[in-house]
Amino acid sequence: MAADPQQDQRASRRGVLLGVGLAGLGGALAGCSTAAVPYGADEAGVAPGEVAAPSSTPMAGAPASAGGGMAGGGGMAGGGNAGGGMATGTLLGLTADIPVGGGVVFMSQKVVVTQPVKGVFKAFSAICTHVGCICNKVANGTIDCPCHGSEFKITNGAVVTGPASAPLPRRTISVADGKILLQ
């Protein structure tokens, strides 16, 4: 009846690993929770999880074909919001860096921010829902995965081209003073 201490240790380790796994799953599920929102219903407007920039935000009006941006791993990305201002979150970049009709992939955060129409910003996980490659390009109205060619709409993350079958999960951002913050 005496407990085997080694077995206890293994069980405990399994518990820790399971906990980590579940935590990851929880994050994934949390990310997916917004996927339950029917896509297509909000393509033209601003829905929860999207941000309309203040009308005073300067924007040059880039051509609709613009896009394909990819932010590097360093710079201001990933540093958190050390300024102590009212806005909180991780600074991704500037609204002026996101082309209208296109988007930018922030590789460090695995997030893609798009601007389907001028002044409306949307964010999605850049992790492809096929088998997890990082989408690395935004072009011609889609967020593209380099591994097997899946493409997702910049408006709502919906699949345009497979093999992926699930949309890119939404990410929450806020825009303040021309800065995009990941929540």
The answer to whether 3 and 12 are in contact (CB under 8 A) is: no
Give yes or no for a contact between 50 and 39, defined as CB atoms under 8 angstroms apart: no
Residue 131 CB coordination number (10 Å): 12
Q: Interface mask (CB under 6 A) for ligand FES, residues 99-138, using x and -?
A: -----------------------------x-xxxx-----
CA distance 175 to 55: 12
Instruction: Compute the least distance from the CB of residue 131 to ligand FES, in Å.
Output: 4
Q: Binders of ligand FES: how many residues, by CB under 6 A?
A: 12
Residues 175/51, Cβ–Cβ less than 8 Å = yes
- Taking CB under 6 A as the binding criterion, the range among 4-12, 49-57, 86-94, 144-152 that sits at the site for ligand FES is 144-152
Q: What does 73-84 look like in DSSP terms, one character per residue?
A: SSTTTTS--TT-
Of 37 and 147, the one with the shorter C-beta distance to ligand FES is: 147
Q: Which of 35, 98, 138, 164 binds ligand FES (CB under 6 A)?
A: 164
Residue choice 95, 114, 115, 150 for contact with ligand FES (CB under 6 A): 150
Name every residue whose Cβ is closer than 8 Å to that of residue 169 and which is 6 or more positions away in sequence: 28, 31, 32, 34, 35, 124, 125, 129, 157
145 scored as a contact of ligand FES (CB under 6 A)? yes
Is residue 87 at the binding interface for ligand FES, with CB under 6 A as the rule?
Answer: no
Contact residues for ligand FES, defined by CB under 6 A: 128, 130-133, 145, 147-150, 163-164
